[in-house]
Structure 1
Amino acid sequence: MAWVFLLLSGLSEMSGVTFMKLSDGFRKWKGTVGAIVSGIFSFYFLSLALREIPISTAYGVWTGIGSAGSVVLGMMLFGESRDRRKLLFIAMIIAGVAGLRIVGGGH
């Protein structure tokens, strides 16, 4: 169950960053509320995952999901560049996250 919590935490991190962009520097209240609520969920689920997964693994996976996911959402929602090099580095992040899952221990 800890890995499910970690996945939910990473997805919440992605939504929080997206809402932060939509908040326009915290000037738009809907985006601001979305960013705050997403941040709360992200840290809550991360704290649950840390009960069973080592912090070195959990934090690496959490930031990897948030980073790669935010890049993909930026491409899909905000028209950011889809440069091949960017896609290569996203793939490297995903490979690193998968590697941490494989060797990271926990349940």
Structure 2
Amino acid sequence: MAWIALVLAGCVEVIGVIALKQVSMRKSLRSFALLFASFVSSFSLLTFAMQHIPMGTAYAIWTGIGTVGGAMVGMFMYGEPKEARRLLFIAMILSAAVGLKLIS
């Protein structure tokens, strides 16, 4: 259950990044509400996961999901470059997260 909460926390973090971009583009109550709700949800799920998963592992995987998700959202929703080097480093982040899961 803790691993599911951790993955959900990372996914909700990506929603928070999307909301952060929306706030930077147009400051609306809806954008701020989504930003607040997503970050509160993400931190709550991360807190639950850290009760059962070592802190270093949980935090690294949470930030990895957020980093990869944010980069992918940037590429597919906001027209950021899709260079091979960028994709290589994203793959490296994913590999590190899987490695941490395998040894935890």
- The two structures, once aligned, show a CA RMSD in angstroms of 1.2
Identical columns (%): 38
Determine the structure 2 residue equivalent to 1:70. 70
Q: Find runs of 4+ consecutive structure 1 residues off by over 6 angstroms.
A: none
Determine the structure 1 residue equivalent to 2:28. 28
Q: Which has the higher helix share?
A: 2
Distance of aligned partners of 1:61 and 1:74 in 2 relative to their CA distance in 1, 3 Å threshold:
same
Alignment of 1:4 with 2:4, yes or no, is yes
Aligned length: 104
Normalising by structure 1, we get a TM-score of 0.93
SS state at 2:24 partner: coil
Normalising by structure 2, we get a TM-score of 0.95
- The whole-number CA distance in structure 2 between the counterparts of 1:26 and 1:44 is 27
List gaps (5 residues or longer) in structure 1: none
Q: Is the 8 A contact 1:26 1:32 kept in 2?
A: no
String of CA shifts for 1:28-77, please: whole Å, max 9, x gaps.
22221111100000001001101100001000000000000110011111
Q: Is the 8 A contact 1:6 1:49 kept in 2?
A: yes
List gaps (5 residues or longer) in structure 2: none
